[in-house]
Amino acid sequence: MVQNEMTRNGKVSVNVGTIGHIDHGKTTLTSALLRVQSEKGQAKYKSYESIAKGGIVRDKNKTVTVIASHVKYETAGRNYAHIDCPGHADYIKNMITGAAQMDGAVLLVSAADGPMPQTREHLLLARQVGVPHLVVFMNKCDLVEDAELLELVELDLRELLREYGYDGEKTPVIRGSAKQAHDDPTNPKAIECVEQLLDALDRWIPDPVRLIDKPFLMPIENVYSIAGRGTVVTGKIEQGMVRAGDSVEILGLKSATATDVITQVESFGEVLEVGNAGDNVGVLLRKMAHNEITKGQVLAKVGTLTPHHEFEAEVYVLKKEEGGRHTPFFDGYAPQFFFRTTNVTGSANVMGGVDMAMPGDGVQLKVTLKQPIAVADGDRFAIREGGRTVGSGVVTRVVD
C-alpha cells in the first residue's frame, strides 16, 4: 500500500519557501539546501538552472525567477516542501501564489545591500497571506569585510520584522554565503550556515495544524496537459483529503461550475493513496481538457462551495511610506484583488458613511468582482494597482 507523503516516513511535513529582493540569492540558497542535504541522502539535488527553469535568463550566472518553483528535502525530523518565490517586482503576483502555501518562510537579504524595496513588499505580503513565522538568512556575508556593517544590517532587519508584525527580537537570523555552501557541499565551514538554517527551521517554525476534517479544497496553481494521460492540476491542499475516484468541482472565474473525477494523486513524482491538507500535489482529472481550467480556480468537494461576486471586508490602506498610495481613493475604485492563487479586478465602495479612504486608514469596503471566485468569511487578500501593493484585507461577509 502506498502511504501518504505526510506520514510515510514518520516525519511531519512542512511547507516553507524563500522570499526576498531580486538578486539577493533566493534560488542559489534553494539549490544549496538541496545540494547539502543530497550529500546526506535527504534530498535529490537540482541545479540552479533546473530550479529557475522557465525564468528569464539574464546571463550565464543569473536567471530571474518568474514562477514559484517547488523542491523537497528532509531533516532528521521533518519533510520540507520548499517554494522558491520570484523576487522581481513584475512577478509579485506569482510570489503571492507561493507565499499563500507556506507554513513559514526564509526571508533572504543580501548583507552587501541590506533590505530593499521587494524585501519590504514580500514581508507585507507574507504577513497578509498568513505566513506565520519567518527565519532570516543574511546572504553574501563573504562579500562584507566590516563586522560592524553586518551588525547594522541585522539591526535593520530586526526593526523591519517588528514593523511588519513579526518577532524582531527572537526571530533567528543566520549569516552565511549560499554560493559557498553550494559550491563546496562537503566543507563543514562552508555549509555551516545551511546547517544552522535547517536547524532554525526545525526549531522556530511550529508543526502546522492541518484541517483534515474539513471538506476538500485546493486552489489551482498550475494546469498541465500530459500526453497520453490527460490534464493535471497542481496546488497545495488547503483543507480536507482527496483520493483517486473522488468527484470534485472546478469553480470560480467562469460562469459555470464544472465537475470531474480524480484518477490519480501525486506528490513530487510519487503516487499517493490519499492527499491530505498541507500536501503539494498534482491531481490527474478524467475528462477536462487543460484549456477548460485556469490558474486561480479551485478544486472542491462537490456541493461545498459557491463562487461569489460581492463581499464586505475590513481593509487597511497602505501609507506612502509603506509603498502604498500617495492619495486617497473614492467609491468606484477598481484595483486587483489577490486571493490564494487568483487575482481579479473589482470595484470598491467605502462603507460606514465615508466616501473616501486615505492612505493609513482602516476602512470597511463593499467589493464587487468582475468574475466570481470561491470566497468565504475570514479569507485574507491583498489589493494591488500599478505594480504595487496598496492595501490588505479580510472578508467579513459574503453578500451574494
Catalytically active residues, by annotation: 23, 26-27, 88
Q: Which three cell numbers stand for residue 283?
A: 491531481
Q: How far apart are CA 355 and CA 352, in angstroms?
A: 9
Nearest to 173, CA basis, from 149, 144, 151: 151
Q: How far apart are CA 168 and CA 197, in angstroms?
A: 17
Contact 117, 387 (CB under 8 A): no
Q: How far apart are CA 256 and CA 141, in angstroms?
A: 53
Residue type at 5 in one-letter notation: E
Q: How far apart are CA 301 and CA 305, in angstroms?
A: 8
Q: How far apart are CA 19 and CA 120, in angstroms?
A: 10
Q: How far apart are CA 242 and CA 296, in angstroms?
A: 19
Tell the residue number behind the cell numbers 533572504, with chain if given.
Answer: 108
Contact 395, 365 (CB under 8 A): no
Q: Which residues of 255-270 are buried (b: 16+ CB within 10 A; e: fewer)?
A: eebeebebebbbbbee
Q: Which three cell numbers stand for residue 312?
A: 464586505
Q: How far apart are CA 371 and CA 289, in angstroms?
A: 21
Helices (H), the chain: 26-38, 48-51, 92-99, 117-128, 147-163, 178-183, 188-204
Residue type at 381 in one-letter notation: F
Q: Which three cell numbers stand for residue 375?
A: 470566497
Residue type at 280 in one-letter notation: N
Residue 124's alpha-carbon distances to 106, 230, 325, in angstroms, are 14, 38, 15
Side-chain-side CA neighbours of 363 within 13 Å: the count stands at 24
